[in-house]
Amino acid sequence: MSQKVVVIYSGGMDSFTVLHKALQEGNEVLALSFNYGQRHVKELEVAANVCKQRGIPHKVVDITAINQLLSGSSLTDDIDIPEGHYEEESMKSTVVPNRNMILLSLAIGYAVSQEASAVYYGAHSGDHAIYPDCRPEFVRQMDVVSKMANYEPVAVHAPYLDVDKNAILADGLKMGLDYSQTWTCYNGRDKACGKCGACVERLEAFAANGVEDPIPYEA
């Protein structure tokens, strides 16, 4: 039976796949994106274009004011984006304090107001080492809290929680998805840098699946 669900949709390849996974499952999808002051704000433009093309209701919420409270992340502050793999200690500079708990809380509130039964987001196993709010225990506890926090229980669902980006991409390719409609790079320039952790992991996933990444990269 079709359910109404909220998908936290950044415009990146993981949330793009989650969005279509929710649609494939027969759900009525409401897409929700957040401008939290990320320097790669280009991802929001990509997200808006995808939702417009597919006729998916889409809200982009400006929460940049929270950066008065959150500091120290290279994604939002004047700190160089580190290059390399997510397994490197330097990648911890990309952590935005408590970001996913904040975004999930807002999405859960939106879900309650829209009588939606669940919130989907794109946490996966490749994020576990660096991002505490993508780890299985966090997702499980947020699901428990979400179902207690309102009179209307809302599930927190991360469909790719136990697999890596290679498997996410494999599933998306099986669905026939066009990944030229995504943006992953932490640098919001015209072309992806190919060197930041997000780009490195993305390129590894395409290589593992034997497919060329369709987005343009800097030389």
Strand extents, DSSP E, 66-123: 118-120
pLDDT at 93 exceeding the cut of 50: no
pLDDT at 219: 67
- Please say whether the dihedral angle defined by the alpha carbons of residues 115, 30, 137 and 105, taken in this order, is positive or negative: negative
Q: Which of 189, 130, 193, 192 is nearest to 165 (CA)?
A: 130
Q: How many residues does the chain have?
A: 219
Residue pLDDT, tens place only, 139-172:
999 999 999 999 999 999 999 999 999 999 999 9
Q: Residue 111 phi/psi, 5° resolution? A: -60, -45
Residue pLDDT, tens place only, 163-182:
999 999 999 999 999 999 99
Judged by phi (left if over 0) then psi (alpha if -120 to 50, else beta), residue 63 lies in: alpha
Greatest alpha-carbon pair distance for the chain in Å reads 53
Q: Which of 59, 54, 158 is nearest to 100 (CA)?
A: 158
Band the pLDDT of 68: cuts 50, 70, 90.
Answer: confident
pLDDT at 176: 98
Please state the pTM of the whole predicted model. 0.87
